[in-house]
Structure 1
Amino acid sequence: MRLPLEWLRDYIEIDMSAEELAHRLTMAGLAVENIEKVENDTILELDLTPNRGDCLGIINVAREVAAITEKPLEIPRVKPDEIDEKIEDFIRITIESDMCKRYSARVMKNVRVEPSPAWMQERLLKAGIRPINNVVDVTNYVMLETNQPMHAFDYDLLEGKQIIVREARPGEELVTLDGTRRELEPGMLVIADAKKPVALAGVMGGESSEIREGTTTILLESAKFDGISIRRTSRKVGLRTESSMRFEKGVDIGGVVQALDRAAHLLEILGAGEVVQGVCDVYPHPQPETAVRLRLDRVNHVLGTDITPAEIEGYLRRLGFPVEVQGSELVASIPSYRPDLAIEEDLIEEVARLHGYDNISSELKPAVPTHGYRTDYQIFKDRLLGYAAHRMREVITYSFINPRWLDILEVPQGHRLRSTVRLANPFSEEQGIMRTTLLPSLLDVAARNLSRRNEDLAIFELGSVYWPRESELLPQEAPMMAGLVTGKVPGGWQGKGGEMDFFFLKGIVEELFARLHLEGVKFNPSVPEHSYHPGRYAVITAGDRIIGSIGEIHPLVLEKLDIESRVCAFEIDVNQLYEAVSRSHHQVRGISRYPAVKRDLALVVSEEVNAADLAETIKKAGTDLLIRVDLFDVYRSPQLGEGKKSLAFALTFQSYEHTLQDEEINRIINGILEKAGEVFGARIR
């Protein structure tokens, strides 16, 4: 950016040489690349970092100089005098796209289009802008001054006396001010009147409504457009302008109307026209004020300095930030012209800039050696990872997925999984959102392996899912573990084993819990909300805590992925699992000296009875002598009766005090039969 010092002096007193000012700006983070001497002036070439797009406006550079030198800042008067006619009688503005955040307009009558005064032309030329006429020159002047791009339309050439901010429609064209006819595409933001596009929003105006010598009434535009949208449009049409560059880097949404008033006021004092009363300002979703909390001790910890709390507060106030002291913390209100400041580290950088990078030592402070250790949670995650790797292969995938995965998984509208974090500038549409479930990642890995005839898979991932947070810049991150199996059980020289189905995967999960010494786990049959087969799905609980789910993937989901084999998967909330394991009290007992006794028990129950519930009832009724209950057979036959099934359990009894006798075991089994009959209506087969 070219910065004429004579122009800068309009807003702040400068009592140092250009070389010293350049040095101090550079040490404050605004690098001065070159100093150019011209007649009666000096021009500084600023090399701005991407986060400081605000300093493309001279007033914002003046704010920086004021903060560095502690000189008062003089902002020019911006409110124009107005005539009695009201803007509501002239224009109506409608915003039809979320890519326009705010759109404001003023109308001026009795306009005289002529060359701008020599002083203004001279300043524009020094800044690298070619003068055209007084109206266009004022919009460019205010853009350089405030960093707010503006545009002026010939009001009488606007059809229907309305402005519609919308996306381009198929087949639409626009001849831009450079005389080039451009084909517009859906997704491009345009400014349109009642019939046609009249400007390519944020990039360049159109010939059909440009300011001419005979123009008598103008509409001044000031707006805030989405930077990503403007950049994409600019690239597609091969046109990058001073306006598009500023919108790409971000403009001050709070300064839209002030810039509009400044332009109207300048035109008024230049005798170029009269200002109609009022501003037509459409601002659908006003931006809330940003407040950032700063821990005072954190500043010196990060910078390795000894800056006092009073100095830290002073630096922030010099930058124009209202500051509230709350004990050992400061809460700074961030002005809208500094959208690059959002987190604590941003404020620490501001303190460092004003303190001076040359005043921060390049040497690290002596460190006190400490012994590293791993937290219980870190140890738990390592154990979980190791235990899962006993039976499955670990995969690592991207946290970004294609939004279409939510449709593939049949996730209903309004479901929590559809509350996603969207990437502002994704590498591709394939990675447009951050995942809220690990299933897409594992299914994608499975689909690619199966397409390459790698048909027997048992894979898992320990990764994060992400949820948006309204009041936080960063999303909420939650660790999850998910596993997937398909194909046959790997075999030895005798060939492959049976199919890796729901029960095979359930066994892996049960083994995982057993290794973690988690007791009281239940697999509760349920109806899935998405992804899974409705009759082959269960919610996993430990006590009253839901820790995950397991099931067979729905055939309709697999069909969309061209997967023909059966696929089963589980998901576990790692935080919930950790809490459950932490609350589980595992007791170790020695091996009994006395022999174990095994009995088989087959019970006829209704189809609705859950085998796990029946097994738990048997275990409780079996006293402490019943040490193990295993389901080994499920039998259905018309002879059992309609709606009936037989569940056969292997019961293992053992005492730590004596050898068990048949009479003792029979009494226990009778108690089991009585309790099972009472609770489930069970009868012995």
Structure 2
Amino acid sequence: MLVSYKWLKDYIELDDLTPHEVAEKLTRSGVEVDIVHVMNKGLKNIVVGKVLACEKHPEADKLNLCQVDIGEEETVQIVCGAANVGADQYVVVAKVGARLPGGMKIKRAKLRGQVSEGMICSLQELGFEGKVVAKEFAEGIFNFPTEVTPGSDALALLGLDDAVLELDLTANRADCLSLVGTAYEVAAILGRDVKLPEVNLSEASEKGSDYVSVNVEANEDNPYYGATMIKDVTIAPSPLWLQTRLMASGIRPINNVVDITNYVLLEYGQPLHAFDYDRFGSKEVLVRLANNGEKMVTLDDVERTLSDEYLVITNGSEPVALAGVMGGADSEVQDDTKNILLEAAYFKGSTVRKASRDLGLRSDASARFEKGVDPNRVKKAGERAAAMIAELAGGQVLSGVVAYDELDRSEKKINISLDKINGLLGTDIDTDTVMSIFSKLKFEATVAGNNFTISVPTRRQDIVIAADIIEEVARLYGYDNIPTTLPNTATTPGGLTVVQAKKRKLKRFLENSGLHEAITYSLTTAEKEAFFTESVSHRVKVALPMSEDRSTLRTTLIPHLLEVLSHNKNRSMPNVRVYEMGSVFHTDEESASKQPDEKTLLSGALMGVWHEHSWQAEKKVVDFFVAKGIVEGIFAELNVQGELRFVQGEPKGFHPGRTAIVELDGFQVGIVGQLHPVVAKEWSLPETYVFEIDLRYVLSEPSKEVRYDTIPRYPAMERDIALVVDEKVKSEDVERQIVALGSPLLKNVELFDLYQGEHLEEGKKSLAFSLRYQDPEKTLTEDEVTTVHEKVLEGLKEKLGATLRS
């Protein structure tokens, strides 16, 4: 909601306060002011000028030489390129030395050999947005509609000496969607009175009921409909003061009748609509629910297909307006309109919202009806608009509002005690203070002992229960005055759950390892995930997706991390290491109506250089073992009790020879490996390694018991062996056998070499291991180590066919 400060001053005395001070007080009381827009955006030396003569530039067809009176002793010559400039116009002139928005300074210049001493301005050049400028001045310069004294301040005439408060209203504060409602709020804060608009309506002897009748079929959706007949209007541009107020409020001026309905909409918060009576099509106004498939063309020249849940205004047969949302194109006010049927009605908010949402039509009117308008202000708004049309458009208002009226205008009664107020706020406010707050709010209230009975004005539709009254007392008493207290209930200190602590531990480990956390959308497309999953049919689809790229819930984090890598690569960031800990969602066709299964995954993606030592010209790029090492570190960090294994696999989307399935106690919990080159090409990535771990199983796995051994007092003996085995034998299996055969003296086994090639039979490979033997109780002899070592060699030959390499 945009509130003109000068306009607001029509209803409340504010001469002693600046716009910023009022904005601060509103924000502190709960009506947030996002920003105060100062209309004068650095403008200086802007005056009214009268064009005395206008001739074509002798050297340029599209330029004009204008002799302009700017209230000084001598006229000035200004070169102007606007097509609509002409003699005897009153225009806006930026004199030499003037400042325009953005810091632009006007200087004396020569254009095609002719001196130009200033600039004749358009409204856009003065800082008005193009969307709020009247169409006749959308291109070219602005000229005043009436005579103005040359040399006078143009900024005041155009309302540029104003400030506009932009209110960020919550849905419940519909009362502040109007100037009068905002004035009531400011008056409550300052303890001042509100001056309501004066309505001087003179009616003709002729009756409106002779021209129109009103019938309402959908009385629950439309409990009040008032029609006022106005004859012999003259459609013309609105007075400048009205146009500038509308522009300051973000509305484009159109003509005097339409502008008045918009003016009263902003003033009272009550939407109105003016029909061209001669184009209406009948003498009957019938309000009903639309028929399924019924069509009408709205003011934006779009044909709309209606349903039986929408409320329409008809001429007895054909829809002429979508109630509370937008009028119809066939009956709109045009330049030749003479007779007006003015609508002032109360429409049910949920019905308006349904039509507005389904048809994608958001208007100032629908926004107000959806949130609720004041039932006691509907008829007054119609009278105010009729009086203004009679004054500014020369219309003759016929006597009597033709109305259907079953509207409940009663005020709510709320009872509350002083103890309840103080008990919830933690204050010690006395009865007089509370009554003074009700007085400032213009709420009628009575008190009996410590109990209040409050009559809530209908303009405050948001106040329904006692808690709403307490909130009003808190706002006006001042949130800063409410004492700070601790809860008087038994409390327990906060802390992290076991799962939360483990997650934080993992994040610290990954960030210490050089990975950066990424947070991506939970929405994706089945096509992107099809690179990594076999089936794309069983997915959770979004009913109203923001775009086709965000139409289903994700089942894996990998495609999102690849997008992060691709985004960075396209911006010359080739070395990227990221991880994400987030939720994925799974479902199946049979139970699509049920809540999806949600689980937490930990995924990472790495590309480019992992480590670089420029001084020694050392550079290590990311490879499989870097990614595998990170995964091993994750399990080590959690001290997982189960047995961790990496089993070669060929999952979809991964390199068949550089990928491993991560197993915990024989159960698959993740995957690590290189992205398949074809998949990497889809994201325009170089060699890329990824991992993904299902944290449901990892975080629930118990941790190993931490045991500490004493520092060995006796020396260890090491033996190296090079074993020739079949190339299909896994080094992991060999290591397992060595550990099983060498226990308990064997303390450590490490693979340090793999060889295939010359001097080995085809289909064979050589695996070299380093074995460490140690006894914590004594020094081992050569014979003891040899006995165990030979047992290891014999067992390897028997179980795996392994022989020592000669």
The reply on whether 1:234 has 2:356 as its aligned counterpart is yes
Determine the structure 1 residue equivalent to 2:744.
none
Deviation at 1:36, TM superposition (A): 1.0
Name whichever structure is richer in helix by fraction.
1
Could you tell me which amino acid in structure 1 is paired with residue 425 of structure 2?
A: L
CA distance in 1 between counterparts of 2:380 and 2:409 reads 16
The reply on whether 1:29 has 2:30 as its aligned counterpart is yes
Cα separation, partners in 2 of 1:217 and 1:280, compared to 1, 3 Å: same
Equivalent residues in 2 for 1:598-613, closer than 5 Å: none
Could you tell me which amino acid in structure 1 is paired with residue 12 of structure 2?
A: I
1:349 aligned to 471, 496, 514, which one? 471
Determine the structure 2 residue equivalent to 1:678.
none
Determine the structure 2 residue equivalent to 1:330.
452
Determine the structure 1 residue equivalent to 2:191.
70
Secondary structure of 2:286's counterpart equals strand
Determine the structure 2 residue equivalent to 1:83.
204
2:480 aligned to 347, 358, 361, which one? 358
Could you tell me which amino acid in structure 2 is paired with residue 87 of structure 1?
A: G
CA distance in 1 between counterparts of 2:231 and 2:2 reads 33
Deviation at 1:187, TM superposition (A): 1.1
CA distance in 2 between counterparts of 1:81 and 1:210 reads 25
Determine the structure 2 residue equivalent to 1:3.
3
1:303 aligned to 402, 425, 437, which one? 425
Secondary structure of 2:458's counterpart equals coil
CA distance in 2 between counterparts of 1:113 and 1:57 reads 26
The reply on whether 1:213 has 2:335 as its aligned counterpart is yes
Determine the structure 2 residue equivalent to 1:313.
435
Equivalent residues in 2 for 1:484-563, closer than 5 Å: none
The reply on whether 1:116 has 2:117 as its aligned counterpart is no
2:260 aligned to 138, 141, 152, which one? 138
2:304 aligned to 182, 192, 203, which one? 182
Residues 159 and 195 in structure 1, CA contact (< 8 A), matched pair in contact too: no
Equivalent residues in 2 for 1:469-484, closer than 5 Å: none
Secondary structure of 2:467's counterpart equals helix
CA distance in 1 between counterparts of 2:326 and 2:340 reads 17
CA distance in 2 between counterparts of 1:260 and 1:8 reads 21
Could you tell me which amino acid in structure 2 is paired with residue 57 of structure 1?
A: S
Secondary structure of 1:207's counterpart equals coil
The reply on whether 1:173 has 2:174 as its aligned counterpart is no
CA distance in 1 between counterparts of 2:406 and 2:393 reads 34
Equivalent residues in 2 for 1:364-403, closer than 5 Å: 364=486, 367=488
Residues 292 and 331 in structure 1, CA contact (< 8 A), matched pair in contact too: yes
Could you tell me which amino acid in structure 2 is paired with residue 205 of structure 1?
A: G
The reply on whether 1:52 has 2:165 as its aligned counterpart is no
Could you tell me which amino acid in structure 2 is paired with residue 151 of structure 1?
A: H
1:247 aligned to 369, 376, 385, which one? 369
Secondary structure of 2:247's counterpart equals helix
Deviation at 1:278, TM superposition (A): 1.1
Residues 134 and 272 in structure 1, CA contact (< 8 A), matched pair in contact too: no
CA distance in 2 between counterparts of 1:208 and 1:74 reads 39
Could you tell me which amino acid in structure 2 is paired with residue 319 of structure 1?
A: L
CA distance in 2 between counterparts of 1:211 and 1:317 reads 43
Q: After superposition, give the CA deviation of every residue in 1:508-536 in whole Å (9 maximum; x if it has no partner).
A: xxxxxxxxxxxxxxxxxxxxxxxxxxxxx
Residues 192 and 440 in structure 2, CA contact (< 8 A), matched pair in contact too: no
Residues 236 and 393 in structure 2, CA contact (< 8 A), matched pair in contact too: no
| Aligned-residue CA RMSD (Å) | 2.0
Q: After superposition, give the CA deviation of every residue in 1:393-446 in whole Å (9 maximum; x if it has no partner).
A: xxxxxxxxxxxxxxxxxxxxxxxxxxxxxxxxxxxxxxxxxxxxxxxxxxxxxx
CA distance in 1 between counterparts of 2:28 and 2:475 reads 7
Deviation at 1:271, TM superposition (A): 4.1
The reply on whether 1:43 has 2:164 as its aligned counterpart is yes
Deviates more, 1:17-26 or 1:146-155: 17-26
CA distance in 2 between counterparts of 1:296 and 1:153 reads 51
Secondary structure of 1:333's counterpart equals strand
Residues 36 and 42 in structure 1, CA contact (< 8 A), matched pair in contact too: yes
Deviation at 1:19, TM superposition (A): 1.8
The reply on whether 1:259 has 2:381 as its aligned counterpart is yes
Secondary structure of 1:100's counterpart equals coil
Deviation at 1:78, TM superposition (A): 2.2
Corresponding pairs, count: 373
Secondary structure of 1:232's counterpart equals helix
CA distance in 2 between counterparts of 1:270 and 1:101 reads 31
CA distance in 2 between counterparts of 1:288 and 1:77 reads 24
Cα separation, partners in 2 of 1:171 and 1:369, compared to 1, 3 Å: closer
Secondary structure of 1:349's counterpart equals helix
CA distance in 1 between counterparts of 2:245 and 2:170 reads 24
Determine the structure 1 residue equivalent to 2:658.
none
Structure 1 segments (4+ residues) deviating >3 Å:
367-370
Residues 113 and 272 in structure 1, CA contact (< 8 A), matched pair in contact too: no
Secondary structure of 1:259's counterpart equals helix
The reply on whether 1:101 has 2:240 as its aligned counterpart is no
Cα separation, partners in 2 of 1:194 and 1:369, compared to 1, 3 Å: closer
CA distance in 1 between counterparts of 2:423 and 2:200 reads 46
CA distance in 2 between counterparts of 1:116 and 1:239 reads 27
Deviation at 1:101, TM superposition (A): 2.3
Identity of aligned residues (%): 45
Could you tell me which amino acid in structure 2 is paired with residue 36 of structure 1?
A: H
CA distance in 2 between counterparts of 1:30 and 1:286 reads 28
Deviation at 1:34, TM superposition (A): 0.5
Could you tell me which amino acid in structure 2 is paired with residue 324 of structure 1?
A: T
Secondary structure of 2:223's counterpart equals strand
Secondary structure of 1:50's counterpart equals coil
CA distance in 2 between counterparts of 1:42 and 1:86 reads 43
Q: Which structure would you say has the larger Rg?
A: 2
Deviation at 1:285, TM superposition (A): 4.5
Residues 375 and 408 in structure 2, CA contact (< 8 A), matched pair in contact too: no
Segments of 5+ residues of structure 1 without an aligned counterpart are: 371-447, 450-685
1:196 aligned to 315, 318, 321, which one? 318
CA distance in 2 between counterparts of 1:173 and 1:352 reads 50
Secondary structure of 1:292's counterpart equals strand
Deviation at 1:286, TM superposition (A): 2.5
Equivalent residues in 2 for 1:555-634, closer than 5 Å: none
Determine the structure 1 residue equivalent to 2:111.
none
CA distance in 2 between counterparts of 1:311 and 1:136 reads 45
Deviation at 1:31, TM superposition (A): 0.4
Secondary structure of 2:172's counterpart equals helix
Deviation at 1:339, TM superposition (A): 1.2
Cα separation, partners in 2 of 1:138 and 1:190, compared to 1, 3 Å: same
CA distance in 1 between counterparts of 2:484 and 2:362 reads 40
Q: After superposition, give the CA deviation of every residue in 1:8-46 in whole Å (9 maximum; x if it has no partner).
A: 001011121222111110111110100111120111110
CA distance in 2 between counterparts of 1:25 and 1:215 reads 42
Cα separation, partners in 2 of 1:171 and 1:193, compared to 1, 3 Å: same
Cα separation, partners in 2 of 1:205 and 1:271, compared to 1, 3 Å: closer
Could you tell me which amino acid in structure 2 is paired with residue 76 of structure 1?
A: P
Could you tell me which amino acid in structure 2 is paired with residue 11 of structure 1?
A: Y
Deviates more, 1:130-139 or 1:268-277: 268-277
Deviation at 1:265, TM superposition (A): 1.3
CA distance in 1 between counterparts of 2:490 and 2:384 reads 59
CA distance in 2 between counterparts of 1:88 and 1:163 reads 11
Could you tell me which amino acid in structure 2 is paired with residue 34 of structure 1?
A: I
In the superposition, the TM-score normalised over structure 2's length comes to 0.45
CA distance in 2 between counterparts of 1:99 and 1:20 reads 42
Determine the structure 2 residue equivalent to 1:16.
17
Cα separation, partners in 2 of 1:182 and 1:290, compared to 1, 3 Å: same
